[in-house]
Amino acid sequence: MPIARLLLRRPDAPEAPQRLTINGRDYALVIRRHPRARTIRLRTDPAKGALLLTLPRHARLGEGLAFARTQVDWIEASFAHAGTATPIEPGAVLPFRGTPHRIDWEAAHGRTVVAADGVIRLGGARDSVEPRLTRWLKAEAKRLCAADLADYCARAGVATPSLALSSAARRWGSCSANGTIRINWRLILAPDLVRRSVVAHEVAHLKHMNHSPDFYAWLDHLFEGDRKSADRWLKAHGRGLYLVGGG
């Protein structure tokens, strides 16, 4: 992640721009001011074609934009490494539970979403395909993760905690101090064993809130698959899951 060091200065008066053109390419731009930031930080969001620029509270906006423009090679390499975004629209092919599925939309199809034989079929209004399919994917993620959670908690001999879906940009799962488990909804796009490995990982944290040898021994006891293989899959393909749709 590129970083520019700077002195703290007075804040800018104008509002941050919503788009930024660098080297002839137009990017959505998200400006964030962080009270504890000491440097300008730049990240990319390939799923939204966006640049995320974090500024110290009193940094000049112009200085941040100038820094972003100096990072053109890094920006282009970051987007190239991530791959091409997959829109959720009729005819598109997206992964569902690890298998490519083509979106088959016809107005005459029923409004209920049906996934079978490599096809996700739905009808209704065309302009609502993306939000409806996104809601359906999240509902499927919640349904399957709830079943996974109940399964692993039964194996662990612990009460099933609250489950929430997450859209975190960098975490597939988390377990809070109060026991609430959050699982990234995009794991519905991954193979079942990859999703289940993340749920098992968080259940293991109910006993060991660390990543000690005891934690991994307990995780291997709970999880029926090869967790290292699941980890390798996420490392190789996880970023691509964020390129499906925009939410």
Q: pLDDT for 62-76, tens place per residue?
A: 999 999 999 988 888
Radius of gyration of the chain (CA): 21
- 143/224 same-domain check: yes
Residue 247 within any structural domain of the chain: no
Angle value at C-alpha 23, between 22 and 28, nearest 5 degrees: 30
Q: Which DSSP helix (H) or strand (E) runs through 244? A: none
Asked whether the predicted pLDDT for residue 8 surpasses 60, the reply is no
Residue 177 within any structural domain of the chain: yes
Asked whether the predicted pLDDT for residue 1 surpasses 80, the reply is no
Residue 22 within any structural domain of the chain: yes
Helix/strand/coil for 233: helix
- 146/116 same-domain check: no
Q: Which DSSP helix (H) or strand (E) runs through 201? A: helix 192-204
Asked whether the predicted pLDDT for residue 15 surpasses 70, the reply is no
Phi, psi of 150 (to 5 degrees): -60, -40
- 35/100 same-domain check: no
What is the pLDDT, as a whole number, of residue 24? 81
- 12/33 same-domain check: yes
- 206/171 same-domain check: yes
Q: Which domain holds residue 177?
A: 133-241
Separation between Cα atoms, residue 212 and residue 100, nearest integer Å? 36
Asked whether the predicted pLDDT for residue 6 surpasses 90, the reply is no
CATH number assigned to the domain comprising residue 172: 3.30.2010.10
Nearest-CA neighbor of 207 among 131, 141, 153, 138? 153
Instruction: Please tell me the pTM assigned to this model.
Output: 0.74
């692993």: which residue's tokens? 152
With bands split at pLDDT 50, 70 and 90, how would you rate the model's confidence at 17?
Answer: low
